[in-house]
Amino acid sequence: MLKIPSSISSLGTGLMGSTTTATLVAAGHSVIFWGRDEESLRRGRDGAEKALRELEENGLLKERTSDCLTRISGTTVLSEAVKSASFIIESLSENLELKRSILGETEKHCSLTATLASNTSGLLPSALAFSLKHPERFLVTHFWNPAHLIPLVELCAGENTAPETTAQVKAFLEFSGKKPAVLTKEAHGFIVNRLQYALLREALFIVDSGIATMEEVDCAMKSSLGRRLADTGPFETADLGGLDVFLSIMEYLYPDLSRESAPSQLLREKVEKGDLGAKTGRGLYEWTPAKHSAILEKRKKTLIRFLKEDLKDS
């Protein structure tokens, strides 16, 4: 039987915290935001409001943004944020010790029946739950960025997570309009980041090997697989292409693919120089504020179009 959380606590007010909160509020839930100070709470609320307005402006919100915002409250006192919550999700920086510390402190103040979740991008749930007294009530719920526009949530249970915890969270997320994908065992990076980083490893290998430039790799990906994978996943693609054909290609192609087990030297050099990508104006490409805004806007429109198509199909 589906148990809808009577109160939700969202810990962390950055991009993932604010858009995850917006997603849950848009689904009709009430959320208590926790931030380290009043300024972080303001940023988090502003981020949630921006996400909600994007949904409203595109006909993807059942209420007005102003009505949704009445269901968001905030506090800088962790114990106040979690004491009455039945579902608690942390979206803090991707740092194992930080997350462990907050989860441990949260457990001291929350209800004995509350479910704890982490919005980590790839840390193992068993490692995160290492110091928890009740790891059976903990799991990973990895919302994908931007959380209000991408329906996927990866669910990853730890070694001691109770099966009913996973089942209840899955049902809750489905009720909230998300598309949960449940792992059968824990693994770093879960499903999609493992696939994403395998793709990036090969893309960097293609460039490092002089096979093609970064520009040509990006163009080729966006003009082919990027379009097709929206409708057919890798296994569906293999079936459609013919397993005999795929096996034949694997026989000669696999030995030629990257087998690197360490991060790319190109990326390491860029990071050492402080060239971190769009946020610093330079990374693998040069980024002006106008170029950065334009590509984010284009991506947002594409994701909104997909959401509208999802609604038609539902």
Q: Tell me the pLDDT tens digit for each residue of 206-222.
A: 999 999 999 999 999 99
C-alpha to C-alpha distance for 106 and 102, rounded to whole angstroms: 6
Specify the pLDDT at position 314. Answer: 72
Specify the pLDDT at position 3. Answer: 72
Helices within 6-156 (DSSP H only): 15-26, 38-57, 65-69, 78-82, 96-109, 125-128
- The yes-or-no verdict on residue 199 having pLDDT over 60 is yes
Specify the pLDDT at position 5. Answer: 77
Specify the pLDDT at position 1. Answer: 53
Mean pLDDT of the chain: 96
> What domains, with CATH codes, occur in the chain?
8-182 (3.40.50.720), 193-261 (1.10.1040.10), 262-314 (1.10.1040.10)
Q: Which pLDDT band holds residue 311 (cuts at 50, 70, 90)?
A: confident
Specify the pLDDT at position 6. Answer: 75
Is 0.85 topped by the overall pTM? yes
Q: What is the mean pLDDT of residues 121-145?
A: 97
Q: What is the mean pLDDT of residues 258-276?
A: 96
Q: What is the mean pLDDT of residues 293-298?
A: 97
Among 4-8, 42-46, 153-157, 203-207, name the one with the lowest average pLDDT. Answer: 4-8
Specify the pLDDT at position 164. Answer: 96
Contacts 24+ apart (CB under 8 A), 254-260: 257/202, 257/205, 258/201, 258/202, 258/204, 258/205, 260/201, 260/205
- The yes-or-no verdict on residue 37 having pLDDT over 60 is yes
